[in-house]
């Protein structure tokens, strides 16, 4: 998959996909933050990134609603090497059905020790971004296959059960 | 999900978050522990084991993957390994997207490569111009040479001979036989 010519991504590069070895750095960053800042510090890092670094995406979502959410995630996963993801838009939600997580796949193939909390990052980051745009976000599964749901409040999604997010590992 | 496509963007943002959280010492600790000792441990292992040959293998692979346009060159002569970066894919991403959370993104390279070279028994001569161009020379600490004259090691592909080396907006940070990101000479 290649990103569309007119990208929905706020930051664009000259190459169609990222370098998968950067997943090593993301995993290592989580390990460092969990050790040095604790779980609460790591969670704060993700939530502040969701509101700060991703502010341009949040603005797109606020203005464009679920259509913008779906377009963003299609472009996002097109630029992630090895991703196998279906983005399904319904009236009140967008579901990301992740058949193969590109990060978990690459970390495994590289023999890297994956932080067990890895999959929770998608929830804390995604929930912060959703909250900033008037949506709710829920996550189930993990460790390579999962489902992210971004929904309007009227969808009435139940609270996130963290037990529904699997620990990551080889 | 944090992706790899815009990695350099959130990497830069992370440096600033770390600085706000724990000051510059936490940023230095991150570059050494998370990047040198964890993320890039394959580079560290290779260079510790094979020296100059390991540098050729590592940078030959990594720069080709990060920069398919091959806007860089590597040169190896007896006693020195040199990189000339003509268009850094990482800094270039930030410049094109107008991103600059941390005060000097370019420092991260010396932040992890410096400690890696120290552990591997090498020192670094280096300059970057903050516009996506830089050069590196790795030598053993007792090597008499250092900061070669433009063209002496890399010939006409030496980035310092290119017209954009001192283009508008460029300012040089310089390191001499260094391995510490804070050993910067302006």
Identify the pLDDT of residue B68. Answer: 53
E strands, chain B, where?
Answer: 72-77, 80-85, 123-128, 134-139, 173-178
- Is the pLDDT reported for residue B22 higher than 60? yes
Residue numbers of B between 85 and 124 with CB closer than 8 Å to A: 89, 92-93, 96-97, 99, 101
The CATH number assigned to the domain holding A94 equals 3.30.1380.20
The helix or strand, by DSSP H or E, that contains position A147, with its residue range, turns out to be strand A145-151
- What are the helix and strand counts (H, E) for chain A? 4, 4
In a domain, B69, yes or no: yes
Confidence of residue A7 (pLDDT cuts 50, 70, 90): confident
Unique residue bearing structure tokens 């959280």:
B21
A24: distance to nearest CA of chain B, Å? 5
Q: Which residue has the higher pLDDT, A4 or B82?
A: B82
Cβ contact, residue pair A32, B17, below 8 Å: no
In a domain, A11, yes or no: no
Count structural domains, chain A. 1
In a domain, A7, yes or no: no
Residues of B in contact with A101 (CB under 8 A): 1
C-alpha A155/C-alpha A71 separation (Å) is 20
Identify the pLDDT of residue B67. Answer: 57
For A53, which of B5, B10, B29 is closest by C-beta distance? B10
Count structural domains, chain B. 1
Q: What is the pLDDT of residues B39-89, one digit of tens each?
A: 999 999 999 999 999 999 999 876 666 555 668 889 999 999 999 999 999
Q: What is the mean pLDDT of residues B90-108?
A: 96
Residues of A in contact with B26 (CB under 8 A): 36
Confidence of residue B8 (pLDDT cuts 50, 70, 90): very high
C-alpha B2/C-alpha B9 separation (Å) is 11
Judged by DSSP in three states, B149 sits in coil
Cβ contact, residue pair A53, B9, below 8 Å: yes
Give residues with Cβ within 8 angstroms of B141, minimum separation 6.
B121, B122, B123, B177
Identify the pLDDT of residue B60. Answer: 83
- Is the pLDDT reported for residue A5 higher than 50? no
Cβ contact, residue pair A25, B69, below 8 Å: no
Cβ contact, residue pair A36, B1, below 8 Å: no
Cβ contact, residue pair A25, B39, below 8 Å: yes
Supply the ipTM of this predicted assembly: 0.95
Q: Is B85 exposed, middle or buried (0-12, 13-18, 19+ CB in 10 A)?
A: buried
- Is the pLDDT reported for residue A1 higher than 50? no
What mean pLDDT is reported for chain A?
Answer: 95
C-alpha B78/C-alpha A66 separation (Å) is 59
A124: distance to nearest CA of chain B, Å? 9
Q: What is the pTM (predicted TM-score) of this model?
A: 0.94
- Contact (Cβ atoms closer than 8 angstroms) between residue B165 and residue B159: yes
In a domain, A102, yes or no: yes
In a domain, A46, yes or no: yes
A84: nearest Cα among A94, A72, A74, A71: A74
Chain A / chain B CB contacts < 8 angstroms: 109
In a domain, A9, yes or no: no
Residues of A in contact with B101 (CB under 8 A): 53
What tokens appear for A148 in the block? 């992210």
For B3, which of A18, A28, A49 is closest by C-beta distance? A18
In a domain, B2, yes or no: no
Give the structural domain span for A79: 22-164
In a domain, A53, yes or no: yes
In a domain, B186, yes or no: no
The CATH number assigned to the domain holding B28 equals 3.30.1380
- Contact (Cβ atoms closer than 8 angstroms) between residue B38 and residue A28: yes
C-alpha B24/C-alpha A40 separation (Å) is 21
C-alpha A41/C-alpha A37 separation (Å) is 5
In a domain, A144, yes or no: yes
- Other beta carbons within 10 angstroms of residue A111's beta carbon come to 8
Give the structural domain span for B118: 7-178
A110: distance to nearest CA of chain B, Å? 10
In a domain, B86, yes or no: yes
Q: What is the pLDDT of residues A86-137, one digit of tens each?
A: 999 999 999 999 999 999 999 999 999 999 999 999 999 999 999 999 999 9
For B13, which of A21, A53, A101 is closest by C-beta distance? A53
Hey, is the C-beta of B40 within 8 angstroms of any chain A C-beta? yes
Q: What is the pLDDT of residues B149-163, one digit of tens each?
A: 999 999 999 999 999
Helices (H), A18-144: 22-51, 55-78, 102-109, 120-132
In a domain, A113, yes or no: yes
Residue to mutate among A9, A20, A30, A36, with most B CBs inside 10 A, is: A36
């Amino acid at each position: 998959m290649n990103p569309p010519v007119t990208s929905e991504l706020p930051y664009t590069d000259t190459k169609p996909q990222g370098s998968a070895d950067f997943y090593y750095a993301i995993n290592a960053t989580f390990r460092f933050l969990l050790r040095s800042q604790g779980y609460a510090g790591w969670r704060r890092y993700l939530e502040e990134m969701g509101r700060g670094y991703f502010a341009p995406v949040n603005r797109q979502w606020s203005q464009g609603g679920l259509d913008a959410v779906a377009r963003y995630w299609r472009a996002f996963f097109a630029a992630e090497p090895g991703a196998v993801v279906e983005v399904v838009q319904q009236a009140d939600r967008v579901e990301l059905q992740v058949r193969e997580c590109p990060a978990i796949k690459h970390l495994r193939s590289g023999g890297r020790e994956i932080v067990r909390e890895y999959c929770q990052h998608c929830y804390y980051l995604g929930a912060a971004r959703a909250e900033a745009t008037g949506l709710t976000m829920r996550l189930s599964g993990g460790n390579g296959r999962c489902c992210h749901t971004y929904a309007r409040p009227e969808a009435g999604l139940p609270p996130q059960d963290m037990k529904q997010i699997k620990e990551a590992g080889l | 999900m944090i992706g790899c496509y815009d990695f350099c963007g959130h990497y830069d943002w992370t440096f600033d978050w770390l600085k706000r959280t724990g000051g510059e010492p936490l940023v230095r600790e991150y570059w050494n522990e998370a990047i040198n000792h964890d993320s890039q441990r394959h580079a560290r292992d290779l260079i510790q084991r094979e020296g100059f040959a390991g540098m050729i293998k590592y940078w030959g692979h990594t720069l080709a993957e990060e920069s398919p346009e091959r806007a860089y060159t590597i040169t190896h002569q007896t006693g020195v390994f040199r990189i000339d970066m003509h268009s850094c894919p990482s800094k270039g991403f930030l410049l094109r997207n107008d991103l600059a959370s941390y005060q000097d993104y370019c420092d991260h390279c010396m932040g992890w490569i410096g400690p890696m070279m120290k552990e591997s028994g090498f020192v670094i001569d280096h300059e970057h111009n903050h516009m996506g161009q830089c050069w590196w020379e790795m030598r053993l600490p007792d090597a008499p040479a250092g900061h070669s004259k433009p063209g002496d090691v890399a010939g006409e592909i030496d980035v310092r001979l290119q017209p954009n080396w001192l283009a508008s907006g460029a300012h040089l940070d310089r390191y001499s036989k260094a391995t510490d990101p804070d050993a910067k000479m302006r």
